[in-house]
A = this chain, B = another copy of it.
Amino acid sequence: MSKKPWQGRFRHDTSDVMERFSQSVSFDKRLYRQDIEGSIAHARMLGERGIIPKEDARLIIEGLENIRNQIEDDSFNWDPSLEDVHMNIESALTRQIGDAGSRLHTSRSRNDQVGLDFRMYLREEARRIRDLLVELLRVIIEKAGEYSGTFMPGYTHLQRAQPILLSHHLMAYFEMFRRDHGRLAGFMNTLSASPLGSGALAGTSFPIDREMTANELGFSEVSRNSMDAVSDRDFVAEFLFAAALCQIHLSRLAEEIILWASTEFSFVALPDSYSTGSSMMPQKKNPDSAELIRGKTGRMIGNLTSLLVTLKGLPMAYNRDLQEDKEPTFDSVDTLSGSLEVMAGLLAGSSFDRERLETATVDGFITATDLADYLVQKGVPFRNAHEITGKIVRDCLDKGRVLSQMSVDELRTFSEYFNEDALKILTVQASLDKKDVPGGTAPARVQDAMEEARAFLAQIDTD
C-alpha cells in the first residue's frame, strides 16, 4: 500500500476493505488526459506568477507529458491505494522528477481539480456525441431521400390513421435528434466557467491568475463562487438528462424498427450485420440491435436517477458522495455513443419494402377523415360530418365492405351533400396532396422539409 499524500495527520493505515471501497482510480483514470492538461495549465500559470520557480514549472510540464505517454503506451502503473487518477499522476510525477513535483498541487485542491477535469471531459464527449448525432441525421435524410414518394399508413394508437409519406415519418425522427443536438449545444454553454482556483471550498491564498488557466483550457469565464464551484454537479445532471432523452428517442425508433421487421408488418428488411440468430432455432433472424437500444433506455434513466438521488440533501460544500457522479456518466457516454452508432448502421443498411408499405395504405378506411372534410367543404359542420362518416364506416364494417366500394347513391343515404366528386377524394394520393400545410405530409411540403434539413446539415459542416 502506498503512502497517502494526506497521511501526516493520521496514526493508522486505511483498512483494505475501505481502500477497495473508496478507490476511484479503476474508473476515473479515464480522465487522465484532462487531468494532465489541466495540471499543465496550472503549473505554467504558477510559474508565470512566480508562485513556484519557472524551472520547476518546466520540469512539471515535461514530466506530465512523459506520464501521458506512459499511460498511452500502457507502461504506467496505476495504484489503487493512491485512491484516484489525480493522486496517481501527482505521485508518479514526484517519483519521476522529485521536489518540483511536490509543488504542483500548490494552491489547488482535488475539489477544484476534479471539477475542472470532469467539465473538460464532458465538453469533449458532448462534442463527439454531437458528431455521432450528425451522422445519424445524415442517414435519416438519405433514407428519406431514397424513399421519396413512398407512402405508408400513418399510425396513432398503433391503428392506421391517415396516409403519410415514409420520408415524412423518418423526418419526424430528424426533428427529435435535431433537438437532441441543440440540447447538447445548450449543455456545452453551461460548461463555460472554469472552477480552477476555487481550492477546497474557500479560494486560495496564492496570487494565482484564474483567467489565464481558464483561457488556456478553453473556458470563457471563471466560476463566481468557490463553494458552489466545488460542489456543483448541475452540468453532470444536465448531461445525463440530455443523454437519457436522446436514448428515449432512439427507443421509439427502435420500437418501430422491431415492429416493422416483424412478419406481420414486413415493412423493412434489416441487414444481417446488425441482426443475430438463435442458439436453438435455426431460422431466426432477430432485430437484437434495436432491442438492445430500446432496452438500454433503462440504464440511461437509471443513471440520471442515480445522480439526482446522490445530490439530494447534500450540505455544502464538497462531500465524498460526489465521487458517485463518474460511473453513471461514463456509462451514459458509452451507451449513448454505441446506440447512436448502431442505429446509424442499422438504419443505413435497412431496406424498406415499398410494395408492402403502399399496399398497407390502401386500406379500407384510412381516408375517412378526407370524407368528413369533404362534407365540411360542402358546408356541413365538422362535428356532424365526423358523425356521418363514422356511421358510414360502421355500416361498411357491418357489411364487410370498405369505403371505396361505396357508390355515390349509397353515400347519399347518409348525407345529401355527397356528389360524384366524393369518390375521388378517397384515394391515398389525393389525401396526401391535400395535407398541404407547413409541416404536413403533402409531397411538396415534405420536399421543402428535406431541403431545410439538408441546409441545416450543410451549415453545421461549415461551422
Contacts and interface: CB of A to CB of B under 8 A. Distances in A.
A353 to B, nearest CB: 13
Contacts of A271: 12, 15
A54 to B, nearest CB: 14
B6 A278 contact: yes
B157 A286 contact: yes
A273 to B, nearest CB: 4
Interface string A350-388: 000000000010010110111111001000011110111
Contact of A315 (B109, B238, B256, B389): B256
A210 interface: yes
28 contacts: A6-B279, A6-B284, A8-B386, A21-B341, A99-B384, A101-B381, A105-B386, A155-B316, A156-B230, A157-B287, A157-B288, A159-B285, A162-B199, A162-B200, A172-B317, A175-B223, A176-B228, A186-B186, A203-B439, A205-B434, A234-B245, A259-B315, A282-B390, A297-B313, A301-B308, A304-B308, A305-B305, A312-B312
A358 to B, nearest CB: 14
A272 to B, nearest CB: 4
Interface stretch (A69-77, A118-126, A322-330, A404-412): A322-330
A106 interface: yes
A159 B312 contact: no
Interface residues of A, number: 199
B281 A162 contact: yes
Contacts of A283: 9, 365-366, 368-369, 389-390, 393
A314 interface: yes
